[in-house]
Structure 1
Amino acid sequence: MDATSALPGWLAPSLRGYRGTWLRADVVAGLAAGVVVVPQAMAYATIAGLPVAVGLYTCMVPVVLYALLGGSHTLSVSTTSTIAVLTASTLAASGGSAGGAADRAADDVLGAAFTLTALVGACLLAMRLFRLGSLVEQISPATLTGVKTGVGLTVAVAQLPTLLGLATPADDPGFLGALGDVVSALSTTHVLTAVVSAAAVGTLLVLRRVAPRVPGALVVVAASILLVALTDVEDRGLALIEPVPAGLPGVSLPVWDEVVRLLPGALAIAVMAFLETVLVARAQRQRSEPAIDSDRELLAVGVAALGGGLSQCLPPAGGFSQSAVNLGAGARTQVSGITTAALAVLVALFLAPVLSDLPAATLAALVLVAVVGLVSPAEFVRLYRIDRTELWVAAITTAIGLTAGLLPAVGAGVVLTLFLVLRAVSRSAVRPLHPAPDGGWTTNPPPDGEAAPPRLMLLHLDRTIYTGNARPTQDAVLAAALAADPPPRAVVLEGTAVERATVPLLDAVEGLDADLAREGIRLLLAAFPARVRRRATVSAWWAAAERDGRVLPTVGAAVAAAAPERAAEQATEETTGEATGEAPA
């Protein structure tokens, strides 16, 4: 019997049916991902204005918790540049970031940061409780493009003072202000620091292109530490990171006084963490693996964030780069994630003094190379070619991110997405229906198909009628009927796509019937699902329409029901033709 079969159904889904032959591949993949995750997470901690040790701790408890609950087999969880920037923005807004912490003690800053992580977990779990996963996934991809572009440019500029060793670092957290600070301080560039930065960036880019399987982050970190250990570059002004404390993280309880101020930022971070995690998980899923369940991911990332908040971590999320390394190295299950967490523990216990010799410029180089990939001009070109509206969403979100900050950008992106969704559902839900060449009916005009029956308008309802699209649909049907030349004697509404009998639907067809009747046009309803017809009979108008024979089971039956009127009309036209000597229509 498989040892994992005794586990509860909700626990460790990626380990179901685990085979011993997978262990070696999982361990190797976990180590390979770890050499990317650990230095990268430490670098992202500096984006958030927190000690590098916080990034190291983020590779421990959250990784294990996701491995036990998450549905993805190969997703590698730690934190991401987007999450780090949103964390910095949230802490700045509450007065708790490195940039805004002049009036606050370091312990207060850390307390606010860890409270934020726990709040992110609480928000994700609340979203899971109310099953909001599918709703959150409706956020436009253009919004994510805009946010990521804003993150990439903002973080890239923020790293320039460290990369160049400027005497006056950028004090303005915004993109434009930080860029101005950098330009004004260029004359103070520290040449040695700039050389080390250029070498690190160049190595990372070259290895990514010519040897993508080589862990570039590990190479530049190891080389930089050796440079400091074997030369006097520190004495010549090369700045090092803050000392990394040896040992494991302690327990950090939430600071309740910070909850109200941190909650809006926590909600934005929760949305982005969920979206990034699900996008990466779905991109990496193999055909043999179960589909990614958004509700399960909400639970897994929520518990991981809650545990991270109690163990001194940044908010966690699935990262693309380390997940790609994990998958490429042969990972089969989340045993690889547990291996990555074990590696982080070993680093914290035994290598912390060594990591303290790491130049700050090297971490900045890691960040710069990671975030530059977020800026994708090709994505804007793609939006331009496909959907100009989505392009505007991406452009507006980017502009807000670069001027007002990333939190307002996320909020604006969500609002714009809701606007687009509301605009889409508020459009008319009706399209013309045509006879198909091989029989039946279609919404696609057949090039050589049979013409529609004369003086009969056939229309298809695309979807259920709600408050938003009821009036536009009613107006569209009436306008089409009045614009027809000659005007129809009957309008047939085909409703196979209608899933529910709603009050707006019943009100719309009743109002439409009255509007058409004033024009001498008869309304027929055809092919509505049986469950819709049963529920609709509570409407007195619908029940009367059924008694009058105007609710038909098929479009063909509706066309036949309209036939007597067409026959009488044709007879009249023939009589008129005989009197005038013209051929009948």
Structure 2
Amino acid sequence: MPAFFQALFPFLRWFPLSRAKLRADLLAGVTVALVLVPQSMAYAQLAGLPVVYGLYASFVPVIVASLWGSSSQLHTGPVAMLSLMSAAALIPFATPGSDQFIALSVMLALMVGVLRLALGVFRLGAIVNLLSTPVIVGFTNAAALIIGLSQLSKVIGVPFPRTDSYLLDLWRVVIQVPQLHWATLAFALGAWLIIAGLRRVAPALPGVLIAVVLATLVSALSGFESRTEVAAEQIRHAPLRTTIQEFDADRTRIDSLTTEIAANSRRAERLEERGGAEAVREAAALRATNAVLEHELKRLKADNTLRQMEMHATPLRAVPGPEGGLGFHAADSLAEEADYAPGLWRFSGVDNGTILLSAGGAVVGDIPQGLPSFETPEIEWTLVPALLPAALVMALIGFMEATSISRAIATTTGERVDTSKELVGQGLANIAGSFFGSYTVSGSFSRSAVAARTGAQTGVFAIISALAVVLVLLFFTTYLYHLPQAVLAVIVMLAVFGLIRIQPLVQAWKVDRVGAVIGIITFAATLLMAPDIANGILLGVALTVLHYLIRTMRPRAEIVSRKADGTLGGIEAHRLKPLSEDFVPVRFDGSLTFINVAYFEDIILEAHREFPRACAVLVVGSGINEIDASGEDRIHEVARRLRELGVGLCFSGLKHQVMQALEKSGLVDELGREAFFPDKETALEVLEARCAGAAARAEPDSRPGRGVGHTAVVG
């Protein structure tokens, strides 16, 4: 019974809690919280969400994952990789930051949680083995670059376009460098110096928190954020005013189209479920209408992206009017002696017809105070099939991250990590979190490392860090208003650029060049397909499986002979002379199954053609691990064809399970037990004596020593 309860409630292993353990967990929990709060806000912005949703994701999911996970030092919460993948998956369906985007982010977390829970309950964690090391490294490197460079716009204070091409968007950021905001860049550089410097000289100090506190104080005291609301008629630059009005109109149309497309999809799905010719026709018409609307939606988003850049590139100066009001003129249209207020203003946004201008940098702004309320996630059933591939990839990537972190920490703590339990814990965390406004979460390497380094003993430390987030949500959100977004961008960049690794791909090149090439292709494809980075790793998985199938279909097979040290080696690979013209030994290193039996037949018959005088073909079968019905049937067919030519087919070193299968099928009796040898040395000795002096059945091959042929040697 105790074992049953411990399996159902894994957190029971923490007890009894000694005072020393509780003290260690308290210190670790507080230390992790100092990293968690700023990180969670930064990652929420990376996910296209308001910063408060990062704090929501650092509350309930953290507690649930610690209670039902298998690692006592793993800390769950927002992570950079899944934050970017969440945003990339949802951008085609909603505008980042909008209510619909938030709802879809929560729904995606629920989907990821259900998938992880299912993988854990059915103990299917081994599916992650489809992700080979080169593919993982290639994808991680590309994703780290994408995540880090996507923060560049916040570091220099310019808009970041969002289109279907990440590389094009990044280039549009680069060409805006001449318009950078120097104060924003100064905050970013200052944060980087503090965080990186303290990591080197005083790693025990919470550099991230110190940078956040100092930057927030300086921002508040210096008036870093300088914004104003103006009416359209105050913009005295006609082209800019027109562009702003077009931007606002198209933004409204974008929101309307997004809602209409979703409604049409839901209605079409209901009609298809109802059935009937009329309903099917109506559903098809709605799908066709959506295709037209989606094309318009894509065009409007592209147009507004260009408008946003154009508006930001038009600086304004405030000029006092005759009645005391301000008019905003294009800066380059004013003479030096003109009477205008100092500072350049740039377009920031539109809110209910009111134009927002900014002469400073971007800050976090208002953060809702209070805890997230319990609310059932809203499920858009029509989008579930479209989001399922991304959800599956996120489930696997998150699981891979969590288990690799847990195992790395377990090497020092000696704790046993159960991957299935970890999947259950991560799944429950995402499911429970989705009922409290959380987006997708996973195990964090940086925070888990902090927990292990500060001596966390049990999952209590994670609960303490979550309670610290509760305090922030209840009492401290107002103090974060002036936190520059550039500082959050630096936190993300420092976190992800450390994930870039080149050495594993270099090592893979030395061991398996095809695998290394697949890793490089995965890297390139992830970059090119961004922001849909899930497609990059799916391509890598497909290529890995294809490579495996090809190797399985064409395993290594070669005619062997004696090397100088007495062992056997391929006559082509080692430039050896044949053992004999009277029999030919062929090594076959692969299981005999339906996928490669045709290749096996080709190898054996080609070997006989190369050595027509041979009275026997010996298959050195120590590398054959299994055989199926197709394999047995093909052996029977090959033996029959060779028998018609007066040639025997023999085997040596077959494993017990293979030999047993051949005996049950009757093939051993058909070929004769004398055709099966316990090992290759016995077979070579017997065949040399058996075939010596046999009459030649054909003219000697004019090219003795040639192997099975170019198609016969693989690997």
Q: TM-score range by the shorter chain?
A: 0.7 to 0.9
Deviations 1:492-539 (A, max 9, x none): 334455443312321332233234435543222334333433333342
Q: Does 1:162 align with 2:154?
A: yes
Match of 2:99 in 1: 107
Task: Decide which of 563, 581, 594 is 1:467's aligned counterpart.
Answer: 594
**Deviation for aligned residue 1:278:** 2.2
Supply the distance in 2 between the matched residues of 1:480 and 1:13 (Cα, whole angstroms).
63
Q: How does 1:47-66 map to 2 (within 5 A)?
A: 47-66=46-65
* Matched-pair contact (CA < 8 Å) for 2:583–2:688: no
Supply the distance in 2 between the matched residues of 1:154 and 1:212 (Cα, whole angstroms).
27
Supply the distance in 2 between the matched residues of 1:352 and 1:382 (Cα, whole angstroms).
47
Match of 1:576 in 2: none
| Most deviating of 110-119 and 176-185 | 176-185
Indicate how the Cα distance of structure 1 residues 429 and 398 shifts in structure 2: closer, same or farther if over 3 A, else same.
Answer: closer
Q: How does 1:225-244 map to 2 (within 5 A)?
A: 225-235=216-226, 237-244=360-367
Supply the distance in 2 between the matched residues of 1:119 and 1:113 (Cα, whole angstroms).
10
Corresponding residue SS for 2:448: helix
**Deviation for aligned residue 1:36:** 1.9
Q: Does 1:279 align with 2:404?
A: yes
**Deviation for aligned residue 1:290:** 5.2
* Matched-pair contact (CA < 8 Å) for 2:130–2:541: no
Q: Does 1:268 align with 2:268?
A: no
**Deviation for aligned residue 1:43:** 0.6
Q: How does 1:63-462 map to 2 (within 5 A)?
A: 63-93=62-92, 95-98=93-96, 106-128=98-120, 131-166=123-158, 168-172=159-163, 174-235=165-226, 237-257=360-380, 258-286=383-411, 289=414, 291-405=416-530, 406-430=533-557, 455-462=582-589
Task: Decide which of 659, 665, 671 is 1:539's aligned counterpart.
Answer: 665
**Deviation for aligned residue 1:181:** 2.2
**Deviation for aligned residue 1:22:** 3.1
Match of 1:42 in 2: 41
Indicate how the Cα distance of structure 1 residues 205 and 468 shifts in structure 2: closer, same or farther if over 3 A, else same.
Answer: farther
* Matched-pair contact (CA < 8 Å) for 1:457–1:491: yes
Amino acid at match of 1:191: W
**Deviation for aligned residue 1:241:** 0.6
Indicate how the Cα distance of structure 1 residues 97 and 473 shifts in structure 2: closer, same or farther if over 3 A, else same.
Answer: farther
**Deviation for aligned residue 1:436:** 11
Supply the distance in 2 between the matched residues of 1:335 and 1:516 (Cα, whole angstroms).
71
Supply the distance in 1 between the matched residues of 2:16 and 2:637 (Cα, whole angstroms).
61
* Matched-pair contact (CA < 8 Å) for 1:4–1:15: no
Deviations 1:6-36 (A, max 9, x none): 8422532793676624333333223322322
Indicate how the Cα distance of structure 1 residues 559 and 290 shifts in structure 2: closer, same or farther if over 3 A, else same.
Answer: farther
**Deviation for aligned residue 1:45:** 0.8
Task: Decide which of 526, 530, 539 is 2:656's aligned counterpart.
Answer: 530
Match of 1:580 in 2: none
| Most deviating of 373-382 and 322-331 | 373-382
Amino acid at match of 1:404: M
Supply the distance in 1 between the matched residues of 2:502 and 2:564 (Cα, whole angstroms).
45
Q: Does 1:22 align with 2:21?
A: yes
* Matched-pair contact (CA < 8 Å) for 1:455–1:487: yes
Q: How does 1:1-20 map to 2 (within 5 A)?
A: 7-12=5-10, 15=13, 20=18
Supply the distance in 1 between the matched residues of 2:580 and 2:8 (Cα, whole angstroms).
58
- Aligned residues: CA RMSD: 3.4
* Matched-pair contact (CA < 8 Å) for 1:428–1:470: no
Match of 1:577 in 2: none
**Deviation for aligned residue 1:481:** 4.9
Corresponding residue SS for 1:250: coil
Supply the distance in 2 between the matched residues of 1:508 and 1:252 (Cα, whole angstroms).
62
Supply the distance in 2 between the matched residues of 1:374 and 1:206 (Cα, whole angstroms).
19
Supply the distance in 2 between the matched residues of 1:300 and 1:435 (Cα, whole angstroms).
56
Supply the distance in 1 between the matched residues of 2:547 and 2:24 (Cα, whole angstroms).
45
Supply the distance in 1 between the matched residues of 2:555 and 2:641 (Cα, whole angstroms).
17
Supply the distance in 2 between the matched residues of 1:434 and 1:248 (Cα, whole angstroms).
75
Indicate how the Cα distance of structure 1 residues 230 and 10 shifts in structure 2: closer, same or farther if over 3 A, else same.
Answer: same
Give TM-score, length-normalised by structure 2: 0.70
| Most deviating of 229-238 and 189-198 | 229-238
Amino acid at match of 1:127: L
Deviations 1:137-156 (A, max 9, x none): 22122222232233222223
Match of 1:579 in 2: none
Supply the distance in 1 between the matched residues of 2:409 and 2:369 (Cα, whole angstroms).
35
**Deviation for aligned residue 1:412:** 1.5
Give TM-score, length-normalised by structure 1: 0.84
Indicate how the Cα distance of structure 1 residues 14 and 224 shifts in structure 2: closer, same or farther if over 3 A, else same.
Answer: farther
Deviations 1:246-287 (A, max 9, x none): 222222323232423322221221121122222222222226
Corresponding residue SS for 2:619: strand
**Deviation for aligned residue 1:202:** 2.2
**Deviation for aligned residue 1:490:** 3.0
**Deviation for aligned residue 1:50:** 0.3
Deviations 1:220-249 (A, max 9, x none): 112122223444333472322132222222
Unaligned runs of 5+ in 1: 574-585
Deviations 1:190-219 (A, max 9, x none): 221111111112222223333333322112
* Matched-pair contact (CA < 8 Å) for 2:225–2:482: no
What percentage of aligned pairs have identical amino acids?
A: 28
Supply the distance in 1 between the matched residues of 2:413 and 2:643 (Cα, whole angstroms).
58
**Deviation for aligned residue 1:42:** 1.5
Q: Does 1:489 align with 2:488?
A: no
